[in-house]
Amino acid sequence: MSLLPELLEILQPKQVEEDTFIGQNLNIGSLAVYGGQVLAQAIAVAGKSVPTTHGINSLHAYFLLWGDNDKEITFKVQNIRDGKSFCTRRVNAIQNGKIIFILAAQFHRKEDGLNHQVSMPNVARPESLTSFSDLFEELSAKLNIKPKGIYAKNSPIIFHPVEHENPFKPGIKPPLRHVWFKSNGALPNDQRIQESYLAYVSDFSLITTALLPHNVSLFSQPMKLASLDHAMWFHREINANDWMLYVIESPNASGSRGYCTGRMFDIHGNLVASVAQEGLIRLIDSKK
């Protein structure tokens, strides 16, 4: 059974005061709370006080501390401004009395205007590709571990990667990745929920793209990876019930940080969202 219903519930933190919400966590197999979850929850609570005529158009966020999977997260929302066309909100995510994440989000009343976009890359279609969960199942059998969360067949997201990578022999590859994805089950026809879901997906496979040119992976080299900041722009209506293509590039890695960008297209080639993130990539010398 898909974890999608559980995820959708978690992505709607419960309101306990006018500006305060409490959220739970979905453990996807990571040591800390998955960054995309906190991001999506913050978007959801930010939108609670925004008119339904306004959809999110941009966000900028910082991941400050690791989140504990076993402890709830408190979200505090601040109304920065309500204009005629734009509404701006700030959200602090708190655990153990400390701010672990901050978000600034802007919502825009729908308007008509100029319209252009880049073309979607011509890559293999999702139906012809093997799912990430099937690929990871083969890997986990070799490691004698049980797939969990996003890595398992009951993942709330179905991923079909275009490029296949051997994590034990990563090699040297261009810093470019194409991944098809869609929801593992039916998402409500609600753009607010679809926006949160898309933000949830956006943090997956992003910073690891910066590893591709360096013959290293999480399985071949001890390292510490962590999202540092995250920005996202929403361009067009979302339908994550159908296949979407995530195109991820890493233009730069330096100073123990990797910079990655992403573009999300729907099945018809419409550019739906753009993403940018910088993350920590700290290689650990196992001999020390």
Predicted confidence (pLDDT) at residue 143 exceeds the cutoff of 70: no
Q: What is the pLDDT of residue 127?
A: 95
Query: Encoding tokens for residue 84?
Result: 């005629």
> Chain centroid to CA 183: how far?
13
Q: What is the pLDDT of residue 286?
A: 59
Q: What is the pLDDT of residue 75?
A: 98
How large a percentage of the chain has pLDDT more than 90? Answer: 82
Query: Encoding tokens for residue 26?
Result: 């979905």
Contact 225, 281 (CB under 8 A): yes
Q: What is the pLDDT of residue 201?
A: 97
Catalytic (active site) residue 285: no
- Active-site hit among 37, 203, 205, 274: 203
Q: What is the pLDDT of residue 170?
A: 87
pLDDT 10s digits, 72-97: 999 999 999 999 999 999 999 999 99
Predicted confidence (pLDDT) at residue 234 exceeds the cutoff of 90: yes
Predicted confidence (pLDDT) at residue 137 exceeds the cutoff of 80: no
Predicted confidence (pLDDT) at residue 134 exceeds the cutoff of 90: no
Q: Which residues pair with 197 in a beta bridge?
A: none
d(C-alpha 116, C-alpha 235), whole Å:
11
Q: What is the pLDDT of residue 150?
A: 74
Between 86 and 167, the more confident residue is 86
d(C-alpha 102, C-alpha 110), whole Å:
26
Predicted confidence (pLDDT) at residue 132 exceeds the cutoff of 90: no
- Active-site hit among 37, 196, 227, 250: 227
Catalytic (active site) residue 277: yes
Q: What is the pLDDT of residue 169?
A: 83
Catalytic (active site) residue 242: no
Q: Which fold has domain 4-110+129-283?
A: Porin (2.40.160)
Once rounded to an integer, what is the mean pLDDT over residues 252-263?
97
Q: What is the pLDDT of residue 141?
A: 67
The overall average pLDDT reported for the chain is: 93
Q: Is the pTM of this model over 0.85?
A: yes
Contact 194, 223 (CB under 8 A): no
pLDDT band at 66 (very low <50, low <70, confident <90, very high): very high
Q: What is the pLDDT of residue 287?
A: 59
How large a percentage of the chain has pLDDT more than 70? Answer: 96
d(C-alpha 42, C-alpha 54), whole Å:
16
Angle, helices 191-202/35-46, rounded to nearest 10 degrees: 160
Angstrom CA distances, 166 to 49, 171, 228, stand at 46, 8, 26
d(C-alpha 39, C-alpha 151), whole Å:
20
Q: What is the pLDDT of residue 80?
A: 98
Query: Encoding tokens for residue 147?
Result: 């797939």
Q: What is the pLDDT of residue 288?
A: 54
Angstrom CA distances, 164 to 8, 146, 167, 216, stand at 29, 21, 10, 15
Span of 67-76, 184-193, 220-229, 231-240 with lowest mean pLDDT: 220-229
- Active-site hit among 37, 155, 191, 277: 277
pLDDT 10s digits, 94-125: 999 999 999 999 999 999 999 999 999 999 99
d(C-alpha 71, C-alpha 134), whole Å:
31
User: How buried is 22 (Cβ within 10 angstroms: 0-12 exposed, 13-18 middle, 19+ buried)?
Assistant: middle
pLDDT 10s digits, 39-60: 999 999 999 999 999 999 999 9
Q: Which helix (H) or strand (E) holds 49?
A: none
Contact 167, 220 (CB under 8 A): yes
Contact 18, 75 (CB under 8 A): no
Backbone angles phi, psi at 139, to 5 degrees: -65, -45
